[in-house]
């Protein structure tokens, strides 16, 4: 029995919708394209083509995983961030488009030489900055060994492994030296909000990458307390925040003695980045 691309997409979308998956139509295009080894945009030209039986079996397996709310990037093995493909597994936070705002902000300030990325996860921030700035040396930390392995693979893939040093560290604990740029997308979801997350996130992404517990601000407090020892004069620290945390996070850094703290927005107009400049 042969199945066309159009039929495969329609039945797949129905299956996922019935299971309560949001955005089922978009997901099935990505899943089928990946199973067929083509770009999602190429599927538009293949509506009437048959899906090879082996590729259909792969697609079927992908749908079964998505039905259980596994994130699409985990199923197909990765996702794009700032124009580069990153390997993504269950051991790392699924890179979010919002986090590209942090890269934008970093690039705006011009090339830096010594960069620290804390809680690197998949390595998107460390690898992107190393790739954009060929002179930069980066230290990338995480508390999770499996995450560091994924980040190292991504660094190799993008040809920047020699300029990134990976270290297992609880925030600044194992970090030495000073930096002219520090970037960090810490876990910032409060324990209370964890309960209302979609099953995709709650059941499949690493708990430690999502929440520090409590009010969600603990990582900023710990980092603010040590920041002065690691940030050069004239240096900049950029933090991703939850969209309602702008005031609270700014206040944490001001209280730690930093005068130049600003909040900027992501593409949807939500507060997303806190910038702390050391004068």
Q: Which residue has the tokens 């299971």?
A: 19
Q: By CB under 6 A, is residue 125 in contact with ligand GLN?
A: yes
Q: By CB under 6 A, is residue 99 in contact with ligand GLN?
A: yes
Q: By CB under 6 A, is residue 119 in contact with ligand GLN?
A: yes
Rounded to the nearest whole angstrom, what is the least distance from the CB of residue 118 to ligand GLN in the complex? 8
- Per the CB < 8 A criterion, the answer to whether 258 and 221 are in contact is no
Task: Write the binding mask 207 to 226 for ligand GLN: x where contact by CB under 6 A, - elsewhere.
Answer: --x-----------------
Output the furthest CA–CA distance in the chain (Å, rounded). Answer: 69
Q: By CB under 6 A, is residue 71 in contact with ligand GLN?
A: no
Choose one: 12-20, 106-114, 180-188, 266-274; the region binding ligand GLN (CB under 6 A): 180-188
Closer Cβ to ligand GLN, 96 or 137, answer by number = 96
- Per the CB < 8 A criterion, the answer to whether 125 and 103 are in contact is yes
Q: What's the start-to-end Cα distance of the chain, in Å?
A: 69
DSSP code, position 80:
E
Q: Which residues of the chain form beta strands (DSSP E)?
A: 78-81, 84-87, 114-118, 137-142, 164-168, 179-184, 231-240, 260-265, 271-277
Total number of residues binding ligand GLN (CB under 6 A)?
A: 13
Q: By CB under 6 A, is residue 74 in contact with ligand GLN?
A: no
Alpha-carbon distance of 146 to 166, in angstroms, equals 12
The one among 12, 71, 121, 235 contacting ligand GLN by CB under 6 A: 121
Rounded to the nearest whole angstrom, what is the least distance from the CB of residue 214 to ligand GLN in the complex? 16
Choose one: 7-15, 93-101, 164-172, 264-272; the region binding ligand GLN (CB under 6 A): 93-101
């Amino acid at each position: 029995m042969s199945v066309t691309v159009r039929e495969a997409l329609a039945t797949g979308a129905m299956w996922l919708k019935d299971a309560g998956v949001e955005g089922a139509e978009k997901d099935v295009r990505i899943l089928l394209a990946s199973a067929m080894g083509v770009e999602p945009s190429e599927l538009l030209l293949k509506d009437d083509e048959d899906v090879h039986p082996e590729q259909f079996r792969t697609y079927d397996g992908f749908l079964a995983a998505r039905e259980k709310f596994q994130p699409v990037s985990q199923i197909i093995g990765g996702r794009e961030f700032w124009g580069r493909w990153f390997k993504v597994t269950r051991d790392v936070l699924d890179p979010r488009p919002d986090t590209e705002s942090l890269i934008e902000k970093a690039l705006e300030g011009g090339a830096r030489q010594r960069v620290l990325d804390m809680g690197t996860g998949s390595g998107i921030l460390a690898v992107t900055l190393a790739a954009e700035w060929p002179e930069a040396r980066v230290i990338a930390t995480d508390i999770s060994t499996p995450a560091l392995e994924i980040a190292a693979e991504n660094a190799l893939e993008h040809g920047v492994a020699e300029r990134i040093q990976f270290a297992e560290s609880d925030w600044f604990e194992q970090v030495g030296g000073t930096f002219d740029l520090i970037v960090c997308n810490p876990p910032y979801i409060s324990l209370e909000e964890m309960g209302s997350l979609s099953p995709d996130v709650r059941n499949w992404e690493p708990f430690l990458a999502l929440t520090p517990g409590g009010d969600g601000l603990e990582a900023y407090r710990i980092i603010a307390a040590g920041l002065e020892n690691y940030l050069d004069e004239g240096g900049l620290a950029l933090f991703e925040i939850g969209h309602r945390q702008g005031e609270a996070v700014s206040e944490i850094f001001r209280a730690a003695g930093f005068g130049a703290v600003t909040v900027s927005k992501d593409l949807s107009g939500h507060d997303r980045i806190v910038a702390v400049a050391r004068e």
